[in-house]
Structure 1
Amino acid sequence: MKKIYLPLALAATLALGACSSDNVVDNGGSSPIDLSKGGFVKMSLNLPTDNNRGSRATLDDGLANEYGIKNAYLVLFEGKDEHNKENEATFKGAYELKNSDFSNFEAVGDAPNHVTITKRIAFANGTKPQSGRKLFALVVLNNNGLFTVDANTHKLTFNTSNVSATDYVSTPNFINFSKAIASTNTDGETPFAADVTNNGIFMTNAPLCTKPGGGTEPGADAEIKTLADVTNNIYTTEAKAKSEPAAEIYVERAVAKVTVQNKTGELVANQNNAASKISYQLYNWVVDNTNKKSYIVRQYNKDWNSIHSDKVTTGDYQYRFVWGSEVNPNATEGNKLYRTSFAQDPEYDTPAANAANYNQMASNASMAMSAEFGNDHPQYCNENTFKVTAQNQDQTTRVVLGVKLSAPGTTTYDADLYTVNDNKEVVYTKATLAERLKNILLKEAAVNTWVKAHATDASFDITFDANEAGTTTITKATFKGKTATGAAEETLETFTTNFNKALPNIVRYKGGVAYYAVRIKHFGDTEGTPWNVAGQGVTAGGNSLIYPNPSTGNNDGWFLGRYGVVRNNWYDISVNKIQTLGDATTPAFTNDPDDVLENYISVSINVLSWSKHTQGADL
């Protein structure tokens, strides 16, 4: 795939004007900077490309429009010069960065592009920072209409039609800003990526850890930082700012991305018999059961840092919630930062699933299935996470795959297929199903006698109750024949009461299409949460048996984050093999655990920290 190098290091020089002579920031220099005389802050904005992801996952740059910058905003907060006080920092002002402010665009060899921004801004009255306090920066790219910024007052106002920010309105600090909740559109699309081509993907700062994870525990002194401290990057002149190091800001996309790779093959259960061999080809797909709500900024729980599985021996995933490789390898010791790998969404603590919280294809006709596969045809959704006790099928974002099946023993598609009495090992066409019914009816003496009398030109046909997929019944079985050549045709339709007794459960696969539900894994088997391995005691049953809670209390250590979708992660689904037929209609939701002891489909999910997750499925 072609690599896309769009602004990775966005060097922003922003002039800060002041309204009062006591508007002073102590930036650690020889003397405090008096912002009443103007100040310049320099920042380097890092987009989520492969250069700053670390080495833990397979990486891919994605599509060009997933890096596009349609608009950019700087949001400043003022806070205490203390550790772990970021959430208390208060809003100071928001500033739009115009496209005309972007300059000096260049690409050097295989290095990322650089864009320098120079812009003069001033604090509004009453918003000046207090002496000795810190200034923190949040960057928002591609606001997708979720808020507006007043160019005179520098006030940021959320769009109340799809953003709930009541706590921020009453107490405008960073935690309340970050926990403003955006809701999906009526068609099920996330507002963060409703029109990627024209509006881009909504991005904000990523929460990063000050200590590495992976093979080592981050430790109690590790901090989670989302805002960038720009206090020490403010200078009295523009020339000085441009000559000094920049404050680093790492942004991430606010959506998860899902792709499905096309595939053809043969059903495993039917491969050994040429007469019953069934071929398959992927037909269509959709991301289903997606979260309707999402926080503006990703929420990370520091308590996850110490969680680990004693079933994992690979260093990269022992402490899976924090990466072991830094995003800024050239930083000095003590200033290195590490990616965090999970999120807490607005419904995270909800103990039981509520269908009203999710966009589901079954109740939303706008969520149409797509027939386009591959990396160039992604679908985007809000992140969706939950506790282990809620790791159930009705709370998990999934991909519904439509798979077209050939008639047994042929490579011909599009014909209706049938199963009888829940036996998916034997697949019928209408002709072979009619033959089975005919043989059953011929055991009736009166039918047998009639057919023999009309054998010179006899035929048989069945009629179903409806033209839909799913469970169906036969409403009419018709014998037609003549007693002699040239005689008038006669019919026999008298044995309708015997049909459903002989074949009580007929399931129709309309057009030969079967459906499979693939629940999306986040960490999965290879990235820290292996399942059904020695010592876990996995047995058939409810959630507490599939995800046992041993005496060590290691439930979260073994399984938290095994399923779910997290923003800025790309989940790429590849079918490994299909065991047998799936469902004739979209699979229903249950509150069964996400993992099952038997499955119809085997998939691989590759997770990139787009990041891409590729999943395979046995159907």
Structure 2
Amino acid sequence: MIKEEKKQTKYLLTFKTIGTMKMRKFFALVLTGALFAACSTDDMVEVDNGVITTGEKDAWVYLNIVTANGSMTRNLNGIQNGTDKESKVTDVMAIFFDGHVDDHGTNASAANPNVVNVGTMILGTPGQPSGAQGAAFEISKDAKSILVIVNPTAKFKAQINSKTKFAEINAAIAEDIADVAKDDNFMMTNAKGALEPSDADGVGETLKTYPTAGAAEGAPLTIKVDRVAAKIRVYNDVDVATNTLEVSDFGWVENATNKKYFPISQRIATWNEDPGNTGDGALGTFRAPYDQYKIGSYRVDPNYLAGKNSNAFTTAAYTDEYNAIADGGAITDATWSNGGNAGTWRGSATSAYCLENTQVAEKNSHAWTTHVIVKAKVYPKTIPSGPTTINSSDGDYTNDVTLNGTQDLIAYGSGIYTYTTYLNFVYEELVGYFMSPDESSYSTPFTDALNAFLAGNAVAITGTRGDSKAGAMVTADGLRTAFAGKTLAAGTVGTFKYYAVSTSYYKIMIKHDDTAAAMNALGEFGVVRNSVYDVRIGSISNLGYPEIPGPDETKDEEDKAWLSVKIDINPWTWYTQTEHL
């Protein structure tokens, strides 16, 4: 059951005519959608009261836009109301065209209707939940469809200036998210992802206009609108009392976010939504609550097709499309710029906005889809002080070492070490190495891994083979001292990983429509407009990356050493996933 309290905001609509077309048609418009009432097609009223089809009659009408206010309540699972700052309407534009187009994102030869009117709806009482009644307006007799833009950005207004075609109006815009998702000024457009109006199946139909104000008011055109931005929230739900590792200093940031967006983006079905895949285990139904036409919850963004066939994610062609932290980078103003979020590690239960980012199925990887980077100090409570196999006569490793998150850590093989305890392993294997005959193949994996990590700063392993234990201990201790004098930085070489100040990083691809029936299917990953993605960290049982992992072709299903994923989809539209790291 949905319980709603609504208030009406009235608008005055003024237009400029494109060309010299005579303006003769009139209609009423009601905007609704994710920020507004969650209407279904049953809510739309159509009254045959002298519909104008020839453009030869005059009519008068006023416009009212029904917006949700803070008192709206819902008991509909999976929908979250926007805050007042996310839902306020300060400016509305309407652009009318002489035709329809639905496949504008995936079809290069899609129809390209002409602009016939551009109008600005002026608030009677700006910023308030109610205002003065709007005035009558008229539109061109050639108008067949409409695009509504709530809170249009300055770049969008500049883009449409003097444009005459849909493709020009809806061209990709490069813009900071801070301008698209600004407090009290979130940009919103047709939720359908195409021009309106449409029939019950989402097929475009011609605008119905009326000869009198009363007739138009009795049959308003209802259009849902979506916020252009997506919203990400990350929660640290780790129970430190039961978690196998200590976890502290939690932070997160989004990575590989889109720099461009379409004013309206075409909807498409995910693999899981496509009824044609039910035989392979897909759900085969459409669940997004504002997808009233059952088209699909996924979207086609500006780089969904173009630019996704290259793996050159370290080139300018990549950085022109995405905000991304490079491999081993740092969260600083110099390396991270994403709409006012520069240099910020966010805490648990905080949110960030980003532009929608989608991709074809074969590009479901960290390079191409928006993901979250989590940072935390992760460490065991205690670790052994040395090996159980002791070759020396002075090695005493009976007392464990207690960790507190301030130590640098090494992960090698199945063990976790401080640099000091790791060198105890190096020492004991070197004692055995120098005691062994020269011709033997005595292995020194701890020493070899450390020297590989040190690379050009490695310690030369020299000394007498087949030596006595005492002699071998002296040689090994000298080499241990030489290793101890080296300065190590966070990084990975082979299976040797060095963690500065016990800090691990984890990358989590955000799941849109996850299903166990398919691997890396279309729509499984990505973020789409007007959706909230909650990422909950349920547990952390392994150390992560020693450095911030940059974009690469790793796919989520291939990264299971650290991730076990559960997604609850509760169709702003609300998606939740729980991560065990």
Deviation at 1:360, TM superposition (A): 0.8
Which residue of the partner structure matches residue 300 of structure 2? 344
Which residue of the partner structure matches residue 253 of structure 1? 227
C-alpha deviations, 1:515-561, integer Å up to 9, x for none?
A: 11101111013xxxx246xxxxxxxxxxxxx56xxxxxxxxxxx221
Q: TM-score, structure 1 length as denominator? A: 0.63
Which residue of the partner structure matches residue 418 of structure 2? 429
C-alpha deviations, 1:160-188, integer Å up to 9, x for none?
A: xxxxx7xx966x2334423x111144xxx
1:319 to 285, 289, 295: 285
SS for the counterpart of 1:204 is: strand
2:362 alignment partner AA: T
CA contact (8 A) 2:533 2:576 kept: yes
1:366 aligns with 2:336: yes
* d(CA) in 2 for partners of 1:386, 1:45: 34
Whose strand proportion is higher, 1 or 2? Answer: 1
Which residue of the partner structure matches residue 42 of structure 1? 63
Cα 1:441–1:510 shift into 2, 3 Å: same
CA contact (8 A) 1:393 1:519 kept: yes
Deviation at 1:568, TM superposition (A): 1.0
Deviation at 1:343, TM superposition (A): 0.6
SS for the counterpart of 2:552 is: coil
2:120 to 63, 88, 96: 96
* d(CA) in 1 for partners of 2:208, 2:494: 75
Deviation at 1:311, TM superposition (A): 6.1
C-alpha deviations, 1:346-381, integer Å up to 9, x for none?
A: 212233344213211127612456443344x21112
Alignment of 1:523-602 (within 5 A): 523-525=513-515, 530-531=516-517, 559-596=521-558, 598-602=560-564
Cα 1:62–1:282 shift into 2, 3 Å: farther
1:309 to 248, 257, 277: 277
1:231 to 208, 211, 215: 208
1:426 alignment partner AA: G
Deviation at 1:94, TM superposition (A): 2.8
SS for the counterpart of 1:435 is: helix
Which residue of the partner structure matches residue 511 of structure 1? 501
What RMSD, in angstroms, separates the aligned Cα atoms of the two structures?
5.0
Deviation at 1:575, TM superposition (A): 1.3
Cα 1:222–1:38 shift into 2, 3 Å: closer
1:222 aligns with 2:246: no
1:147 to 156, 160, 167: 156
C-alpha deviations, 1:21-41, integer Å up to 9, x for none?
A: 964338764375989967324
Which residue of the partner structure matches residue 39 of structure 2? none
Cα 1:385–1:83 shift into 2, 3 Å: closer
Alignment of 1:159-178 (within 5 A): 172-178=164-170
2:187 to 173, 179, 202: 202
C-alpha deviations, 1:256-302, integer Å up to 9, x for none?
A: 1111002334699xx7xxxxx53123621111111222111121248
1:60 aligns with 2:18: no
1:182 alignment partner AA: I
Deviation at 1:241, TM superposition (A): 6.9
1:183 to 152, 174, 185: 174
Deviation at 1:412, TM superposition (A): 2.1
* d(CA) in 1 for partners of 2:206, 2:12: 15
Cα 1:613–1:29 shift into 2, 3 Å: same
Cα 1:44–1:286 shift into 2, 3 Å: same
2:368 alignment partner AA: Q
Deviation at 1:569, TM superposition (A): 1.1
Which residue of the partner structure matches residue 77 of structure 1? 96
Structure 2 unaligned regions, length at least 5: 28-47, 105-109, 383-401, 436-446, 461-473, 485-492
Which residue of the partner structure matches residue 479 of structure 2? 495
2:208 alignment partner AA: T
How many residues are aligned here?
A: 479
2:262 to 290, 295, 300: 295
* d(CA) in 2 for partners of 1:593, 1:83: 31
* d(CA) in 2 for partners of 1:318, 1:115: 44
CA contact (8 A) 1:603 1:618 kept: yes
CA contact (8 A) 1:11 1:42 kept: yes
* d(CA) in 1 for partners of 2:403, 2:480: 34
SS for the counterpart of 1:495 is: helix
Q: TM-score, structure 2 length as denominator? A: 0.67
SS for the counterpart of 2:539 is: strand
Deviation at 1:236, TM superposition (A): 3.8
* d(CA) in 1 for partners of 2:126, 2:494: 70
* d(CA) in 1 for partners of 2:15, 2:212: 10
1:383 aligns with 2:356: yes
Which residue of the partner structure matches residue 192 of structure 1? 180
CA contact (8 A) 1:203 1:252 kept: yes
1:30 alignment partner AA: G
* d(CA) in 1 for partners of 2:162, 2:565: 45
* d(CA) in 1 for partners of 2:284, 2:69: 24
Deviation at 1:390, TM superposition (A): 2.4
1:285 aligns with 2:249: no
* d(CA) in 2 for partners of 1:573, 1:343: 21
Structure 1 unaligned regions, length at least 5: 106-112, 123-127, 149-156, 159-164, 211-219, 272-276, 328-335, 447-461, 478-489, 533-545, 548-558
Q: Larger relative contact order (C-alpha < 8 A, sep ≥ 6)?
A: 2
Cα 1:405–1:246 shift into 2, 3 Å: same
* d(CA) in 1 for partners of 2:406, 2:191: 47
* d(CA) in 2 for partners of 1:361, 1:389: 22
* d(CA) in 1 for partners of 2:565, 2:290: 31
1:405 alignment partner AA: V
* d(CA) in 2 for partners of 1:44, 1:436: 72
* d(CA) in 2 for partners of 1:82, 1:348: 18
* d(CA) in 2 for partners of 1:17, 1:358: 36
Cα 1:492–1:417 shift into 2, 3 Å: closer
Deviation at 1:9, TM superposition (A): 5.5
CA contact (8 A) 2:251 2:374 kept: yes
CA contact (8 A) 2:372 2:508 kept: yes
1:417 aligns with 2:405: no
* d(CA) in 2 for partners of 1:568, 1:119: 31
Cα 1:443–1:590 shift into 2, 3 Å: same
Cα 1:84–1:373 shift into 2, 3 Å: closer
Task: Indicate the percent of aligned positions where both proteins have the same amino acid.
Answer: 18
* d(CA) in 1 for partners of 2:524, 2:255: 18
